[in-house]
Structures are given as structure tokens and as C-alpha cells.
Amino acid sequence: MLGTLLASPSVETTLFYLLSTLAICLAVGVLVDRVVIRSGFILIGVFGSIAGIFLLLSAQFIALAQVMIYAVAITLVIVIALMLTNPRSESEPLVKEEELPPPAAFFRSLKNNFPLWVSIMSFVTIYVALTGENHWPISTEAAPIDSVKVIGEQLTTTYAIPFEFASVLLLAALMGAIMLAKNDKSEVSAQTEASLLEAKKAEENLALSR
């Protein structure tokens, strides 16, 4: 039922433009929003709409894995890191440029917007390569009904060694993350004790002054 509905080209086109509009607008929000934690939450929407695009491409397993890993786990980690790192500088301060003569200002804006030129050039290059003379060899064979079964068989037979290496990579990355983020007690304790003492003293003074 759903598959036949999705197979009709007009429905697929409509859904594609809907989801890609969502994804692009939210991605612009992620990049432009001055409050970093808000862009962290907008990221959930980007990943969710990309999961919808995966569903359109009849990749159900990847879509659900995307929702679980990206939209929940990675965004959660990012938001928690934001909460742990940002003191008061959640908004990036506005940078006010000093006055310059026009040619120097032009070169300055060229230089400051250099990432923009690079990204536009890369997009145009990829697009020209995509829509060039040679067309992609589009296959018309019928897709397997149970795509999860196909993926699972490939992961355990053809791609068994990369699969095992991926698990080793995950283990090493988790151990490295724990080692990096671990609070070294011996170095920090002296500072924190001093600051705790100061805070306690200030509190006592406050209580006395009342």
C-alpha cells in the first residue's frame, strides 16, 4: 500500500521537495543561528528530515538507525557538551569591522568570506560533474523485498572483516573518549579546594552582613 503510493513519481517528487526544503532550511538554521544550543536542537530536525529522505529511498533500516544514532544519540552528546562547555558566551559576539577605504574593504570581504567561495565552488563543481554528458547507469532490476536480510547477509559474509574492524574502532574510540574526558583529580583538586574555601568564606560574610 505505502510502497505503491511511494512508487508513483508525483508523490515521490512532492515528498522529496517537502523533506529537502525542511532539511535545507534547518541546516541553514544550524549554521546561522547565533545561539549555539538552539542550533544543537535544530540539528535534530535536520537529521529527522534526512531520515525521511532515507525512507523515500526505501532504506528502512538505515532510516531507523539514523533516527536512533544521529537524531537521538549524537545530538544528545552534542547538547550535553554544549551545556558543559558554554560559560556565558552562548551567543557569538558580533564582530564590528573597522572603517577602511573601499578597495581594501572589498579585499577584506573577499578574505573574510573565503569559506563561502570555497563551498560555492565545490557545490558548483560537483553539480557540473553530476549533470555532465555521461549519464549514470540506472538499473531497472527489482529491489529485494527484505532489504534488511540482504544487508545482514553481506555484513556477515562479504564485509565480515570490516564489520569486526568497525567494532574495534568503536571500542578504541569509546576508551579514548573516556580517557580524554576523565577529570584528573590530582591536578584539579588544589584549585577547586581553594575556590571552595573562598566561596564558603564569601557565603559566611554574606550571612554575617545580614
CA distance 151 to 135: 27
CA distance 201 to 124: 62
83-122 residues near other proteins, rule: CB under 8 A: 84-98, 100, 104, 107-108, 110-111, 114-122
Q: Rank residues 57 and 202 by Cβ distance to other proteins and give the closer one.
A: 57
Q: Are 67 and 51 in contact (CB under 8 A)?
A: yes
Is there binding between residue 72 and other proteins (CB under 8 A)?
A: no
Give, in order, the Cα–Cα distances in Å from 139 to each of 58, 135, 142. Answer: 15, 12, 9
Q: Rank residues 143 and 208 by Cβ distance to other proteins and give the closer one.
A: 143
Min dist. Cβ of residue 81 to other proteins (A): 4
The conformation of residue 134, written as its DSSP 8-state character, comes to S
Q: Rank residues 14 and 204 by Cβ distance to other proteins and give the closer one.
A: 14
The residue count for binding other proteins (CB under 8 A) is 109
CA distance 152 to 150: 5
Is there binding between residue 201 and other proteins (CB under 8 A)?
A: no
Contact segment (CB under 8 A) with other proteins among 11-19, 192-200, 201-209 equals: 11-19
134-173 residues near other proteins, rule: CB under 8 A: 136-139, 141-144, 147, 150-151, 154-155, 159, 162, 166, 169-170, 172-173
CA distance 105 to 107: 5
CA distance 150 to 144: 8
171-190 residues near other proteins, rule: CB under 8 A: 172-174, 176-178, 180-181, 183
Is there binding between residue 46 and other proteins (CB under 8 A)?
A: yes
Among 22, 65, 18, smallest CA distance to 45 is for 22
